[in-house]
């Protein structure tokens, strides 16, 4: 992605996304599909997991369980080639010239629903970083990024398309003080991802899948980031999507409802309805 970019290894990526909530995972789907070696490091507590039923995200006419939706976003990102690791980014240093280094602390995750194997403390190197975490910017202290204070919260300043004042550092979602709805966070993650792709060596980028001949039958090359698929491939993909959706919605999602952590005796805000006598 940059001239100095080394081949990505397990600890070095072209792009590190901090935060695997709605904005971060949507961004990861777009960057991974563009061929950017993307790692999402996520503490695992998207604020959306507190929602009781998500009813205003386009494409779900009867709504969707928000914890199921969050899991589907994660699968979509990894299915499209992004890596995902559980962890808490404690510190971020570096620059576009030297590369960025994130110090990642372990997550104490006792919830079997969201636990992943690797939670050890480690360093991760990346050419670029996209921050899509909560509105807590303390881990960005050493970077000189412009921060906006708003009461108890602090937000990262950007140019409206996700670029911060630090070259190579991008932002999306709540930490950039976007409106507080999932579809806006998703759209913002996608927009920042495309900004980042445009800033890299990837040429003009659409990310469209079109029927065979859509471009080529008009004597045009398939543009970068577009794919023509024939009827057989289209049928196969539609069958796979039907099967996946049937599986997702076959049973109720089993992760416990979250609420505000101050309301229950569980640091992640998980409600045990049985214990609560509901």
Ligand X SMILES: Cc1cc2nc3c(=O)[nH]c(=O)nc-3n(C[C@H](O)[C@H](O)[C@H](O)COP(=O)(O)OP(=O)(O)OC[C@H]3O[C@@H](n4cnc5c(N)ncnc54)[C@H](O)[C@@H]3O)c2cc1C
Residues that bind ligand X (CB under 6 A): 18-24, 41-48, 50-51, 54, 56, 88-89, 132-134, 139, 173-174, 180-183, 185
| Residue closest to 18 by CA, chosen among 116, 108, 71, 86 | 86
- What is the nearest approach in angstroms of ligand X to the Cβ of residue 91? 9
DSSP code of residue 270: B
Closest to ligand X by CB, 48 vs 126, is: 48
Closest to ligand X by CB, 243 vs 263, is: 263
Tokens found for residue 106: 């372990």
- What is the nearest approach in angstroms of ligand X to the Cβ of residue 47? 3
Distance CA 47, CA 28 (A): 18
Closest to ligand X by CB, 51 vs 195, is: 51
- What is the nearest approach in angstroms of ligand X to the Cβ of residue 265? 18
- What is the nearest approach in angstroms of ligand X to the Cβ of residue 209? 25
* Residues paired with residue 93 on neighbouring β-strands, in sequence order: 101
Tokens found for residue 274: 């049985």
CA–chain centroid gap for 241, Å, is 21
- What is the nearest approach in angstroms of ligand X to the Cβ of residue 85? 9
118 and 70 in contact (C-beta within 8 Å)? no
Tokens found for residue 127: 């050419």
Angle at 30 between CA 28 and CA 187, to 5 degrees: 90
Closest to ligand X by CB, 217 vs 272, is: 272
Closest to ligand X by CB, 157 vs 227, is: 157
259 and 271 in contact (C-beta within 8 Å)? yes
- What is the nearest approach in angstroms of ligand X to the Cβ of residue 26? 8
Closest to ligand X by CB, 80 vs 268, is: 268
Distance CA 17, CA 173 (A): 12
174 and 206 in contact (C-beta within 8 Å)? no
């Amino acid at each position: 992605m940059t001239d100095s970019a080394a081949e990505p290894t397990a600890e070095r990526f072209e792009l590190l996304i901090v935060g695997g909530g709605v904005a971060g995972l949507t961004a990861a789907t777009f960057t991974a599909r563009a061929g950017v070696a993307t790692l999402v490091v996520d503490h695992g507590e998207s604020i959306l997991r507190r929602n009781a039923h998500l009813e205003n995200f386009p494409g779900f006419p009867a709504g969707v369980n928000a914890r199921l939706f969050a899991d589907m976003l994660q699968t979509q990102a990894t299915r499209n080639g992004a890596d995902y690791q559980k962890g808490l980014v404690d510190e971020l240093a570096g620059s576009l010239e030297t590369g960025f280094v994130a110090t990642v602390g372990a997550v104490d995750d006792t919830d079997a629903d969201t636990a992943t194997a690797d939670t050890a403390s480690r360093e991760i190197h990346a050419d670029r970083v996209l921050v899509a975490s909560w509105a807590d910017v303390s881990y960005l202290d050493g970077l000189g990024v412009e921060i906006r204070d708003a009461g108890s919260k602090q937000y990262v300043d950007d140019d409206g398309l996700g670029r911060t004042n630090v070259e190579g550092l991008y932002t999306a979602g709540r930490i950039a003080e976007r409106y507080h709805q999932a579809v806006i966070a998703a759209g913002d993650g996608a927009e920042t991802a495309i900004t980042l792709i445009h800033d890299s060596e990837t040429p003009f980028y659409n990310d469209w899948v079109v029927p065979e001949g859509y471009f080529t039958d008009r004597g045009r090359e398939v543009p970068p980031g577009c794919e023509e698929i024939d009827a057989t491939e289209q049928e196969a993909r539609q069958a796979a999507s039907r099967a996946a959706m049937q599986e997702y919605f076959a049973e109720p999602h089993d992760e416990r409802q979250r609420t505000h952590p101050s309301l229950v005796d569980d640091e992640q805000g998980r409600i045990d309805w049985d214990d609560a006598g509901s």
